[in-house]
Amino acid sequence: MRTQAIAVLSPLLRNRDYMLLWGGQVISTLGSAALSIIYPLLILDLTGSPTAAGVAAALRAVPYLIFSLPAGALIDRWDRKRVMIVCDLGRALVVLSVPIALWFDLLTIWQLYATAFVEGSLFVFFNLAEVAALPRLVSTAQLPQAAAQNEAAFGAAHIVGPSIGTLFYQTFGRAVPFIADSISFLISIAALLFIKTDFRLSKAPPVRDLRIEIVEGLRWLWHQPLIRYMALLTGGVNLVNAAMPLIVIVMAKELGASDIEIGLIFSIGGVGGVVGSLLGGQVQKRFSFGRVIVFLIWVQAVLFPLYILVPKYFLLGVVYALLYFTLPIYNVVQFSYRLALIPDALQGRVNSVFRLLAFGFMPIGAAISGLLLEHVGATPTVLILALWYMVLAVLTTFNRHVRNAPSLEKIGST
User: Residue 362's domain is classified under what CATH number?
Assistant: 1.20.1250.20
* 2 is a domain residue: no
Cα distance between residue 329 and residue 320, in whole Å: 15
Helix axis angle, 225-254 to 210-222, nearest 10°: 90
* 326 is a domain residue: yes
Contact 365, 54 (CB under 8 A): no
User: Residue 227: which domain range?
Assistant: 15-200+217-413
Cα distance between residue 264 and residue 262, in whole Å: 5
Question: What's phi and psi for 404, nearest 5 deg?
Answer: -105, 15
Buried-state track 185-202, b at ≥16 Cβ within 10 A, e below 16: bbbbbebbeebeeebbee
The CA-based dihedral angle spanning residues 276, 282, 284, 287, taken in that order and rounded to the nearest 10 degrees: -110
* 290 is a domain residue: yes
Buried-state track 366-405, b at ≥16 Cβ within 10 A, e below 16: bbbbbebbbeeebeebbeebbebbbebbeebeebeebeeb
Position 302 scores a pLDDT of 95
* 353 is a domain residue: yes
Position 410 scores a pLDDT of 59
Cα distance between residue 400 and residue 138, in whole Å: 31
Cα distance between residue 58 and residue 223, in whole Å: 30
- The helix/strand/coil state of 274 is helix
Position 339 scores a pLDDT of 79
Cβ atoms within 10 Å of 1's Cβ, excluding its own: 5
pTM of the model as a whole: 0.72
Helix axis angle, 378-397 to 225-254, nearest 10°: 160
* 212 is a domain residue: no
- Taking alpha carbons only, the member of 283, 242, 214 closest to residue 368 is 242
* 47 is a domain residue: yes
Cα distance between residue 10 and residue 142, in whole Å: 9
* 3 is a domain residue: no
Cα distance between residue 321 and residue 307, in whole Å: 11
* 285 is a domain residue: yes
Please give the chain's pLDDT, 414 residues, in tens.
Answer: 334 434 443 467 788 888 898 888 889 888 888 888 888 889 988 888 888 888 888 888 888 788 877 877 787 778 888 999 999 999 999 999 999 999 999 999 999 999 999 998 998 899 888 887 887 888 777 777 787 777 777 777 777 888 888 888 888 888 999 999 999 999 999 999 998 887 765 555 555 666 777 788 888 888 889 889 999 999 999 999 889 989 999 999 888 888 888 888 888 887 887 788 777 667 777 788 888 999 999 999 999 999 999 888 888 989 989 998 898 888 888 887 887 778 777 777 787 788 788 888 888 888 898 899 988 999 999 999 999 999 999 999 999 999 887 765 555 554
DSSP 256: T
> What is the number of domains present in the chain?
1
